[in-house]
Amino acid sequence: MMLKMDNFLSFAIVNGFFIGLLLSFLKFDDPEMIVAGTLLSTIGFYLITLVSVSFFIKFLTQKESSIKKPSYNNLLEEYIEEFDKREKATNKIRGFLRTMEKTMREEEKEERVYKSNKDKLLELANEDIF
Q: Which domain holds residue 76?
A: 5-129
- 3-state helix, strand and coil shares in percent for the chain, rounded to the nearest 5: 95, 0, 5
Residue pLDDT, tens place only, 39-64: 999 999 999 999 998 888 888 766 65
Identify the residue with better confidence: 3 or 118: 118
Q: What 8-state DSSP symbol labels residue 28? A: -
Span 76-126, pLDDT tens digits:
999 999 999 999 999 999 999 999 999 999 999 888 888 888 877 777 777
Indicate if the pLDDT at residue 26 is higher than 70: yes
Domain total for the chain? 1
Task: Say whether 57 sits in a helix, a strand or coil.
Answer: helix
Q: What is the mean pLDDT of residues 24-35?
A: 92
pLDDT at 114: 85
